[in-house]
Amino acid sequence: MSGDIAKTFIAMRRPPAARNLFLFLLLVASAGVRAGNGREFSAMWDVEKVTSLDAQRVSVTLVLRLRNHSATNVSHVSIRLADRVAPGETVATLHDPLAIGYRASATVTDIVTVERSEYQRWLRGGSPNLVVEVIDARGRHVDYPVEMVRMPGAGAGS
């Protein structure tokens, strides 16, 4: 249908600038359908419960609404809380494994233990550093960073 709209508009005797603007906007709108550009997953997040374990660590209930922006259904998905200081290190694995349909979302709630300094960083506006690991068609483990945003009206530990 969008092709018919474009043909109709182009067939109209519009100035080239207006036609070019229309085609540009159509291109931008269609590109947004597949959130490519490396953003395959995003999540809204919050912390529901915080328990002090000792002077350095806290236990938190992390709530995620994970969205699949990739071009396909994914299964055998692992969600990892990655260490910010030591790249490649995993602090915790959440709800393993998981399946998320194409352009669908899944709610994940799990209890994780984090350094108190990391939790305090979240209180100051930082986000958990999540990575989604997917096993691709060739059997390779592929990591995707998760674009994080705080749930509206949420507050860490509220």
pLDDT tens across 27-51, in order? 333 333 334 556 899 999 999 999 9
Digit-coded pLDDT (tens) for 132-155: 999 888 888 999 999 999 998 766
DSSP symbol at 36: -
pLDDT of residue 82: 93
CATH 2.60.40 fits 41-150, yes or no: yes
Residue that is written with structure tokens 């912390």 in the block: 47
Kindly tell me if the per-residue pLDDT of 80 is higher than 50: yes
Pairwise CA distance, residues 74 & 70, whole Å: 8
Q: Which of 34-43, 52-61, 71-80, 141-150 has the lowest mean pLDDT?
A: 34-43
Mean predicted lDDT score pLDDT of the chain: 80
Which DSSP string corresponds to 52-97? E-SSSEEEEEEEEEEEE-SSS-EEEEEEEEE-SSSTT-EEEEEEEE
pTM: 0.70
Please name the amino acid found at residue 150.
Answer: R
> What is the domain partition of the chain in residue ranges?
2-31, 41-150
Structure tokens at 85: 């200081």
